[in-house]
Amino acid sequence: AQKVTQAQTEISVVEKEDVTLDCVYETRDTTYYLFWYKQPPSGELVFLIRRNSFDEQNEISGRYSWNFQKSTSSFNFTITASQVVDSAVYFCALRPSGGYQKVTFGTGTKLQVIP
Amino acid sequence: ETGVTQSPTHLIKTRGQQVTLRCSSQSGHNTVSWYQQALGQGPQFIFQYYREEENGRGNFPPRFSGLQFPNYSSELNVNALELDDSALYLCASSLGGADREQYFGPGTRLTVT
C-alpha cells in the first residue's frame, strides 16, 4: 500500500519569506515517482516536478527547490522569497514506476502568502 | 496543442440520480484517469482507461463506471448518487507508460443534495 503524508495543513508566511512544505511517503515498491502539484483556487492541478526514485539529486527551478531523501522517505519542497501568487494548495504525490498510473496524493498543504 | 477539458463545470444532482461527466484528452493522449477530490482532501484515484479499456481501478464501488471512446475522450458515470459523492472530479490524460506525465483538467464540481 502507498501512503503520502503532508503533516502541515496550513502555512502562512509574509511575502519574501522562504517556506518549506514537508512530504513523507510510504511504499513497498523499489522504483517509483514522486510529484508535487499546485492547485490554485481555480481547481486545476498544475504539475511542478517529477522525481524518479533512482535520482536523489536535489533540484532547483527558479525560486523552487526540492530535497529528496530516500533514507527518510521524504520529498520536501522549498519556495524561496515567496510571492502572493504562490498562495495555493500544494500536493505531494507518489506513483509506482510500473503498471498503470495510479497516483496517490497527500492531503495537501494550503499556503497563504501575505503581502 | 489543446489542453484537457471537462464538462460541465458545475452540476447539482439529487440523491439517487445518475450523472455523466465528460473529459476531452489533450491531443494525442491515449490514457485517461479519473480522480475524486472531496473538499479539503487530496484527489483519490477512481480508475484509468488505456485505449478504450479500463486497466486500473481504485477503491470505488461499481456504481462508478467509465468509458473511453476511439478519439480517447472519456466519460465518468455515477449511478445512485449519494451525498458523499459531492466532490470535484478531475480528469487527467497522458500518453500512457509509467514515465509519462499526466495533465489535469479543471474539474467538474458535483453537488449532491
Task: Give residue-wise pLDDT tens across range B62-107.
Answer: 999 999 999 889 999 999 999 999 999 999 998 876 567 888 999 9
Residue B99 confidence (pLDDT): 62
Q: How confident is the model at residue B1 (pLDDT cuts 50, 70, 90)?
A: low
For residue B19, is pLDDT > 60?
Answer: yes
Nearest by CB to A107, which of B42, B105, B109?
B42
SS3 category, B91? strand
Could you tell me which residues come within 8 angstroms of residue A55 by beta carbon, excluding any fewer than 6 positions away? Answer: A68
Cβ of B45 and A102 within 8 Å? yes
A75, A92 contact by CB (below 8 A)? yes
How many contacts (CB atoms, under 8 Å) link A and B? 69
Longest dimension (CA), chain A: 44
Residues of B in contact with A88 (CB under 8 A): none
Instruction: Single out the residue of A35, A46, A111 nearest to residue A68, CA to CA.
Output: A35
**pLDDT for the residue numbered A39:** 95
Q: Which residues of B touch A91 (CB under 8 A)?
A: 42-43
A106 min Cα distance to partner chain B (Å): 6
What is the pLDDT confidence band of residue B26, given thresholds at 50, 70 and 90?
confident
pLDDT (mean) for B17-31: 92
Q: Which pLDDT score is estimated for A99? A: 67
Strand ranges inside B1-113, DSSP E: 5-7, 10-13, 19-24, 31-37, 44-50, 53-57, 64-68, 74-78, 87-94, 103-104, 108-112
Question: Which ranges of chain A have pLDDT less than 50?
Answer: none
Interface test with B, best of A100, A104, A109, A110 (most B CBs within 10 A): A100
Which residues on chain A are in Cβ contact (under 8 Å) with B87? none
More confidently predicted of A1 and B43:
B43
- Is the Cβ pair A43, B48 closer than 8 Å? no
- Cα distances from B35 to residues A15, A73, A111, B93, in angstroms, run 33, 25, 23, 11
Q: Do B99 and A96 touch (CB under 8 A)?
A: no
Place of cell 500500500: A1
**Half-sphere exposure of residue B81: CA atoms within 13 angstroms, side-chain side:** 21
pLDDT value, residue A42:
83
Query: How does residue B7 score in pLDDT terms, banded at 50, 70 and 90?
Result: very high
Q: Residue A101: which of B31, B105, B106 has the nearest Cβ?
A: B31
Are the beta carbons of A91 and A45 closer than 8 angstroms?
yes
CA–CA distances in Å: residue B67 to residues B31, B37, B72, B95: 12, 20, 9, 17
